[in-house]
């Protein structure tokens, strides 16, 4: 059984959280309206997880208060924080908070987070994770930023590579030698920063160099 101590300024919020945790897996060790005497209260209780609801304007004060009381090193700490910035969320996790969740987290997600943090894991809500770790921007440079643009002939060869043609077929289409085709392919790979023909075609498609 996971023993949970709840901290929330609102009596209604505390009651709501207690209702959500009315489950055989959890036991409410106690509750408080603020952090001022939290360390003293926890010292007399058997507690596994401290669940804290904080207002949007109290994020910085929360970290300071938890650090002074040494709460995060002694108990798995979960914070319900609305409008938390990605920077603050990252700072909170580095400081030792085990989970930063939005206040509207679902009961199922909250219960799962309590179990995970009690087991020593760090938890992030998908919404917070998306903000803290945005998808990386495409690394391929646009055509105008290529170190050296493709020549007209290289563009023709790249288009034929995209069509699956072998060197001999490209040579026949363009009435040039196999050796010349190999030269063009090597030049294309170098300019696009590709290591294979397939990668060159993929980059060419992303850059708008290949017509589909």
Q: Render pLDDT for 122-176 as a digit per residue (tens, 0 to 9).
A: 998 777 666 555 555 444 444 446 778 899 999 999 999 998 899 999 999 999 9
Percent pLDDT > 70 in the chain is: 90
Chain mean pLDDT for the chain? 85
Distance between CA 212 and CA 210 in Å, rounded?
Answer: 6
pLDDT band, very low/low/confident/very high, at 109 (cuts 50, 70, 90): very high
Domain membership of residue 212 (yes or no) is no
pLDDT band at 40 (very low <50, low <70, confident <90, very high): confident
**Domain annotation covers residue 137:** no
Residue 138 lies inside a defined structural domain of this protein: no
Q: What is the CATH number of the domain that holds 165?
A: 1.10.10.10
Residue 25 maps to a domain: yes
Reference 146, options 134, 154, 157; nearest CA is: 154
Indicate the DSSP class of residue 24. Answer: T
- Angle, to 10 degrees, between the axis of helix 197-206 and the axis of helix 178-192? 60
Angle, alpha carbons 128-130-131 (nearest 5°): 65
Distance separating the N- and C-terminal Cα atoms of the chain:
59
Contact in structure between 75 and 42 (CB atoms under 8 Å): yes
Q: Tell me which of 92, 107, 132 is where a domain ends.
A: 132
Is 189 inside any structural domain?
Answer: yes
3-state secondary structure of 139: coil
- Considering the domain boundaries, does residue 162 fall inside one? yes
- Same domain flag for 36 and 114: yes
Query: Token pair for residue 117?
Result: 């943090």
Q: How confident is the model at residue 58 (pLDDT cuts 50, 70, 90)?
A: confident
Collapsing DSSP to helix, strand or coil, 16 comes out as: helix
Q: Which range is least confidently modeled, 31-35, 50-54, 159-163?
A: 31-35
Q: Is residue 43 part of a domain?
A: yes
Q: Which pLDDT does position 7 carry in this prediction?
A: 93
| Total structural domains within the chain | 2
Helix intervals (H) in the chain = 11-20, 38-43, 59-69, 71-74, 86-95, 107-118, 126-132, 152-162, 167-174, 178-192, 197-206
**110 in Cβ contact with 20 (< 8 Å):** yes
Task: Give the end of a domain, one of 104, 132, 160.
Answer: 132
How far apart, in whole angstroms, are the C-alpha atoms of residue 24 and residue 21? Answer: 9
Q: Based on the fold, state whether residues 82 and 14 are members of the same structural domain.
A: yes
- For 156, the token pair is 């023709």
Alpha carbon distances (Å) from 19 to 53, 115, 125, 178: 15, 17, 21, 76
Domain boundary among 109, 132, 155: 132
Where in the sequence is the domain holding 112, given as residue range(s)? 2-132
**Same domain? 103 vs 14:** yes
């Amino acid at each position: 059984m996971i023993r949970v101590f709840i901290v929330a300024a609102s009596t209604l919020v505390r009651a709501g959280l207690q209702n959500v945790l009315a489950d055989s897996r959890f036991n409410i060790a106690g509750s408080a309206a603020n952090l001022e005497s939290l360390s003293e209260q926890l010292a007399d209780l058997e507690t596994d997880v401290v669940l804290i609801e904080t207002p949007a304007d109290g994020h910085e004060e929360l970290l300071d208060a938890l650090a002074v009381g040494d709460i995060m090193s002694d108990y798995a700490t979960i914070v319900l924080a609305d409008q938390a910035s990605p920077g603050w969320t990252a700072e909170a996790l580095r400081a030792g908070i085990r989970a930063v969740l939005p206040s509207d987290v679902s009961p199922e997600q909250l219960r799962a987070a309590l179990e995970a943090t009690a087991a020593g894991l760090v938890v992030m809500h998908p919404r917070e994770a998306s903000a803290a770790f945005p998808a990386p921007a495409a690394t391929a440079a646009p055509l105008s930023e290529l170190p050296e643009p493709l020549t007209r002939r290289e563009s023709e060869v790249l288009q034929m590579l995209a069509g699956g043609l072998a060197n001999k077929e490209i040579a026949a289409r363009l009435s040039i030698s196999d050796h010349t085709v190999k030269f063009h392919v090597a030049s294309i790979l170098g300019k696009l920063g590709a290591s294979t023909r397939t990668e060159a075609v993929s980059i060419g498609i992303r850059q708008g160099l290949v017509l589909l």
